[in-house]
Structure 1
C-alpha cells in the first residue's frame, strides 16, 4: 500500500445569512478548526477574511489546507456546525441554537506546475566572481509557459543545481499568482451559501467557553471518506 498523497484543498467557514451571533460563531469555529488542523500535521494558509459588523466576528473565512488524508480529516468538519448558547450581543434573545457552515471550495486552477510547461534557458551568470563566473552559461532562466511567469537563478556554478532551484522558485511564484486569482474569485463566495441546513450538524459546541458537545451519531460519512482515501492509495 502506498503512502497517503499530499493534497491541497480550499475550505470556507461561513455565517451565510446569519446574524451577528453566527458571525461570532464563525470566529470561534476558526480557532477550533485551526487547532485541529495543527494537531493533525496539516499546513494551512488563510486566504480571505470577511469581517462581521461586530468586533471579533467574521462573516466568512477561506483557508488553504495542504496535507495527507485531508478527506478523512474534513469528513468530520464539512457540513453544518451548531453552537448552543446565549447571545453575547442580545442576552435576552430567546434563540439558543445558532448554525454556520463549513464547505469545500472547488478550485479550477492546478497548484502544481508541470515539467512539460516549463522552458529552461541557459545564460551567463553575472555579479561577484569576475571573469570566471561569466565564462560558463551556468545561470538558468525558467519560464512557466501557461502563465508566462519567469525566474532567473544564478545561485550556483552548477547549471543542474540552478535548474532545480529555478523550478522550486517558479512553483512558488506561480502558486502566489494562482492564490491571488483565487482570493478575488472567492471574496464574496460566502453569499453562495445563504441557506445553511439546520439539521444533522457535524459538530456541536456549547456555552460561552465553546466546549465541544459529545454527540452519539452515525459515522457513515467518515467511514465512506476513509474507504475512498484507502482506495485512492491502492490505485497509486
Structure 2
C-alpha cells in the first residue's frame, strides 16, 4: 500500500446480532465521514447489508492517518430499540488498524476493470480538472476502490490497485477465519466501556 493509506477493521467481536448491526452502521458512518473529509475510501460492505461481524474500510489521501487515529478504539452505540425497549441500551464495537497478512494478493489483469472519472474533494479549482481519478473493480468479487489523491492517472491507478489489494487481503483473511473458526479477527477484543466515540443516531 502507498504510504498515506490506512485500512481499518470494524468488528463486533463475539457480540450478539445487535453488535453486528452496529458494526455495519459504524463502518458506513466512518466511510461517509472520510469521504466528507476529502479522503479516498473503499470498503467491503455490499449495498443492502444491514449486519456484519466485521467490515474493512480503506482510506487514502493526505490526512488519512490522522483521521483513522480519531476512530481507533471502542465505539459505543446507545439504542434501546434493538430488543423492543428491553433493559440493554449500550452496544459496543471496536475499530482496529488492519495488518495485511503476509503474502500479497495477486491481481490478474483480466480480473480488474479501470474507469477514469472526475471526483470531488479538497484542492479547489485545480483538483481533477482532467479525469485523473481512477476506480478499479475486481470483477470476480465486485469489490472496488477509488484513488483521486495522486497527481496523475498513472499514480491513481497504482494507488487504487493497492487499496483494492488491501480489501481483498482482508476478505481472504475473514474467509479463512470463518472456515477455521480461528485467526487474526478472532483475537480482536471489544472493550465494553471507555468508548472513543458514542453515537445515538446511527
Count of residues in correspondence between the two structures: 149
Q: How does 1:101-140 map to 2 (within 5 A)?
A: 101-107=94-100
Instruction: Assess, with a 3 A threshold, how the Cα gap between structure 1 residues 84 and 168 changes in structure 2: closer, same or farther.
Output: closer
Compute the displacement of 1:168 (Å): 6.5
2:187 corresponds in structure 1 to 192
- TM-score, normalised via structure 2 length: 0.59
1:183 corresponds in structure 2 to 171
Compute the displacement of 1:93 (Å): 2.5
1:76 corresponds in structure 2 to 70
SS in 1 for 2:53: strand
- TM-score, normalised via structure 1 length: 0.52
SS in 2 for 1:99: strand
The one of 180, 203, 211 equivalent to 2:197 is: 203
**Unpaired stretches in structure 1, ≥5 consecutive residues:** 112-146, 152-166, 211-236
1:13 corresponds in structure 2 to 10
CA separation in 2, counterparts of 1:22 and 1:110?
31
SS in 2 for 1:201: coil
Bigger Rg, which one: 1
CA separation in 2, counterparts of 1:16 and 1:150?
35
**Unpaired stretches in structure 2, ≥5 consecutive residues:** 111-153, 178-183
The one of 29, 32, 36 equivalent to 1:35 is: 32
Compute the displacement of 1:13 (Å): 0.6
1:131 corresponds in structure 2 to none
CA separation in 2, counterparts of 1:205 and 1:173?
31
The one of 18, 22, 27 equivalent to 1:25 is: 22
Give CA-to-partner distance per residue, 1:51-89, whole Å, 9 cap, x none: 9xxx7212111122111122211121110000112042x
CA separation in 1, counterparts of 2:24 and 2:107?
38
Instruction: Assess, with a 3 A threshold, how the Cα gap between structure 1 residues 93 and 77 changes in structure 2: closer, same or farther.
Output: same
Compute the displacement of 1:184 (Å): 0.8
SS in 2 for 1:18: coil
Compute the displacement of 1:29 (Å): 1.1
